[in-house]
């Protein structure tokens, strides 16, 4: 079967190139679009790995919701491209340092530790992958062994949500609002008022 490697190379090549374009594109909207492209290709790679649930969640959550709002914000901003370029050399050493640290860490991880002995799988008995579909697999692990971590991550999201609402919600006072229920109950009787106007006087 040659289709599998061909699709793998297409997905990974496009993912890597678009990831490079994210940081090198001049226009920020193009950057976000390339980011979306690399997300989609990453989810394609997940599908090839047999992690189809993860792939779909990646598309639904990151591409379908997060990146839309991201694009929304970037499109609305009035960005001065020349000013954006100015800080490039200033931040370059710091960025390079971060990159090097990450590469060294990954190298240490891959060279010294073999995954079969020292990874999480030793502590958690996970079911065999090919026996059940991986949606059930994730459910079985997520709501049993990782239940508390799952609850804590939910709490973190809740705190973030409450925080962002309290930061942005303020009483503007002067804004006119409509009372929907009173609007719905409007009919001919209370919408129109008949008045007899006397000649030469007005209301």
Partner 1 sequence: MNSFSYLNDLIIPGSIIIAQIFAVLMPVLISVAFLVYAERKVLALIQLRRGPNVVGPFGILQSFADALKLLTKENIIPTNSNKIVFLLAPIITMVLSLAGWAVIPFAPNWVIADINVGIMYLFAVSSLGVYGIIMAGWASNSQYPFLGALRSAAQMVSYEVSIGFVIITVLLCVGSLNLSKIVEAQQTVWFAIPLLPMFVVFFISALAETNRLPFDLPEDESTLVAGFSTEYSSASFVLFFLGEYASMILMSSMTVILFMGGWLPPFDIFPLNAIPGVIWFVIKIMFILFLFIWVRGTFPRYRYDQLMRLGWKIFLPLSLLWVVLTAGFLIAFDMVPNSL
Burial of 120 (0-12, 13-18, 19+ CB in 10 A): exposed
Q: How far apart are CA 168 and CA 203, in angstroms?
A: 45
Determine, following the binding rule CB under 8 A, whether residue 79 of this chain makes contact with partner 1: no
Stretch binding partner 1 (CB under 8 A), from 16-24, 69-77, 97-105, 148-156: 69-77
Token pair 């008045």 in the structure block, residue: 195
Determine, following the binding rule CB under 8 A, whether residue 52 of this chain makes contact with partner 1: yes
Q: How far apart are CA 150 and CA 53, in angstroms?
A: 17
Determine, following the binding rule CB under 8 A, whether residue 14 of this chain makes contact with partner 1: no
Determine, following the binding rule CB under 8 A, whether residue 59 of this chain makes contact with partner 1: yes
Q: How far apart are CA 141 and CA 168, in angstroms?
A: 37
Determine, following the binding rule CB under 8 A, whether residue 120 of this chain makes contact with partner 1: no
Stretch binding partner 1 (CB under 8 A), from 60-68, 116-124, 147-155, 191-199: 60-68
Q: Which one among 8, 22, 53, 145 touches partner 1, defined by CB under 8 A?
A: 53
- Between 70 and 146, whose beta carbon lies closer to partner 1? 70
- With CB under 8 A as the rule, give the number of residues binding partner 1: 31
- Between 105 and 133, whose beta carbon lies closer to partner 1? 133
End-to-end CA distance of the chain: 87
Using DSSP, state whether 127 is helix, strand or coil: coil
Q: Which one among 60, 79, 156, 161 touches partner 1, defined by CB under 8 A?
A: 60
Token pair 């209370």 in the structure block, residue: 190
- Radius of gyration of the CA atoms of the chain, in A: 28
Q: How far apart are CA 61 and CA 39, in angstroms?
A: 11
State the residues that interact with partner 1 by CB under 8 A. 1-3, 6, 27, 29-30, 33, 36, 52-53, 55-57, 59-60, 63-65, 68-69, 71-72, 75-76, 133-136, 178, 180
């Amino acid at each position: 079967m040659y289709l599998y490697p061909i699709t793998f190379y297409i997905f990974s090549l496009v993912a890597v190139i678009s990831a490079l374009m994210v940081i090198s594109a001049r226009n920020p909207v193009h950057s976000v679009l390339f980011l979306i492209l690399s997300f989609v290709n990453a989810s394609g790679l997940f599908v090839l790995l047999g992690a189809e649930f993860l792939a779909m969640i990646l598309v639904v959550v990151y591409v379908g919701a997060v990146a839309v709002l991201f694009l929304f914000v970037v499109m609305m901003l009035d960005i001065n491209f020349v000013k954006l370029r100015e800080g490039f050399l200033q931040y370059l050493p710091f960025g390079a340092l971060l990159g090097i640290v990450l590469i060294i860490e990954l190298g240490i991880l891959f060279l010294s530790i073999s995954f079969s002995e020292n990874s999480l799988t030793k502590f958690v008995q996970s079911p065999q992958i090919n026996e059940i579909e991986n949606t059930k697999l994730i459910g079985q692990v997520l709501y049993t062994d990782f239940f508390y971590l799952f609850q804590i991550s939910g709490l973190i999201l809740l705190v973030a949500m409450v925080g962002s609402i309290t930061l942005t919600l303020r009483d503007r006072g002067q804004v006119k609002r409509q009372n929907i229920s009173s609007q719905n109950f409007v009919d001919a009787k209370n919408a129109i008022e008949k008045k007899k106007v006397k000649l030469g006087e007005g209301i």
